[in-house]
Structure 1
């Protein structure tokens, strides 16, 4: 048998090391991404090997390719992993913001983090005099909640398609089950900066949500304000949406300071 190479001597797998090196090169590239040829050169790989590894990373959601430019950027799966790793710190930094939001609006404020299959609620602050449902630890359908739609609106189209691959179930009379209608709504959400839910998961609950974005503009979490439909009425959506956007931006800045 031939002698093992340095990587194999230490129990390391060369293909994994090459894939990680490519992922790091993609992460170090400009926000517009980089071509596979440039990435191959930076990682001292031939172009065919680099392309195969990038295609595998793309299948796993770790990188994204813009078909119009053939440039590669970091995929949403990396954002999900980063969010999962930093949940405790994110919750600690976001909690005071949730407290202020709840006090200011008189409604419940939630924080949900992006996970592999959607969102998981990790913190919640409710007014002392208000009895509300507890969403901690729950995952909810993305198409039927303001938080889910706020997440989808800032994801690449490929990720949206993957997360909405199955038929969209109807929960109430107002649930959006048409992908075409939902995509139009997601465009509007991105323009105004927050998503809304009008009794789409539970008929008596309304809410607004804004994304917590990382330095590349990817959603790592979502901040929500919600309550009974007789209090969180549509005529309050613009006001509450502005509060949610401001609070989500504050959480994003706090997360950056905490990581520094």
Structure 2
């Protein structure tokens, strides 16, 4: 019989808050006075990410009065609530009930997933950290580019900025620490790596990750009818292109084209 994933069911009051009395995931943590964090554990694999996506969809579909919003991450779901409408202990009870309805870690991937083939110009001004990443990985720059695009990378979450995409997981060799210094402004479409993950920036943002390239693909555009093209569970395949092609594709992207091939994931 498969192991059952039992949520925290025992609580005690401490200084007006609530604290989980067991440590097995999924767990509930009170995050300030207006949110609960539903934690599915330390793992970052597909099963945990599927659980996060499925549980987030379940909470939103329930339409419980007092829930303000949910924010799914790689391995947890933040559930914000209005304490004047919904008491924290009542929401905790409801979250616990939902968690015990089924084994969320056995959830299927979300429906409607897509695989996007994202063009990237690696190196040069678009990828100022490519040489340093190659040195740290013990590879040539060409090998880094080939390895980065070798397999599809799953979109684990969107966050930090509108449409900002986190994908992974890359191989163990890519367990790079973040840079010691943060770049104050990295342009939209930048491809940066650290801690076995890739991020695709959607707006101009600061980052301490290693910037190895830039894509003309605009994952987020507020002027579009559909501002966000990607969703958690999608997959990205990064394809190397030259600087001239990148400039041409960027002009087409600003004219409204997606400039990334896309196919459904069966």
TM-score > 0.5 by shorter chain: no
Instruction: Return the structure number with greater strand share.
Output: 2
Structure possessing the higher relative contact order (Cα contacts under 8 Å, 6 or more residues apart): 2
Instruction: Return the structure number with greater helix share.
Output: 1
TM-score by length of 2: 0.31
